[in-house]
A = this chain, B = another copy of it.
Amino acid sequence: MEFPSKLIENAVGELAKLPGIGRKTALRLTLHLLKAETEATSSLAEALAKMRFEITYCQTCHNISDTEECSICANKLRDHSLVCVVSDIRDVIAIENTGQYQGVYHVLGGVISPIEGIGPSDLHIDSLLKRIPDSEIKEIILAISPTMEGDTTAFFLSRKLREFPEVHISTIARGIPMGGELEYADEITLGRSIVERTRQAKA
């Protein structure tokens, strides 16, 4: 596809780099912005840049946050004895939206994936292990998608967590279809799988 303007070409090219956005869609979005008030484009561009450059992560749980400590970690009404370990920020958002969980989180930042070259040291595993001593943590829920990589990660974590026999380890109930991604689960299934989590037997 050729465009009569380099400006359009660049905008389409940049939008088409986003996952799931092809060049036809990118052109449609570009021409939409072109027709709309200039303010629509400037708000979008500013919101994206601001988000990317000003975002910070919670120093405790690695959740996204506008402050050093995220609003979940800072909330004294939440149950800080319960830590839900997830691979990704979108899992935090998904679980929060079920309204079923009152504990806190720990975001690993991915799953162990030898194919993609992601090993345990690339994930926030050490910081999880460091959170436990001298804390009020009583239970750690492994809420990791039951994919092959997710299961590998959960298995790795279970073994590491043996170091802390006083902490119970549980996994979310398999209400989630096997092989399914956590984030695609509907809110009821995901909420129930948190409530009906199964406590792991000490290996």
* Chain A positions near chain B (C-beta within 8 angstroms): 1-8, 10-11, 13-15, 17-21, 25, 27-34, 38, 40-55, 63-66, 70-72, 88-90, 92-93, 96-97
Q: Knowing A28-B20, A64-B34 touch, does A1 contact B51 (C-beta < 8 A)?
A: no
Alpha-carbon distance between A32 and B15 when the two chains are bound, in angstroms? 12
Pairwise interchain contact A19-B28, C-beta atoms closer than 8 A: yes
Main secondary structure of the interface of A (DSSP, over half): helix
Pairwise interchain contact A27-B90, C-beta atoms closer than 8 A: yes
Contacting residue for A6 out of B14, B32, B33, B66, CB 8 A: B66
Pairwise interchain contact B52-A14, C-beta atoms closer than 8 A: no
Contacting residue for A41 out of B13, B38, B48, B70, CB 8 A: B48
Contacting residue for A93 out of B1, B10, B55, CB 8 A: B1
Q: Knowing A55-B5, A93-B4 touch, does A14 contact B64 (C-beta < 8 A)?
A: no
Contacting residue for A4 out of B11, B53, B92, CB 8 A: B92
Q: Knowing A19-B28, A66-B5 touch, does A41 contact B52 (C-beta < 8 A)?
A: yes
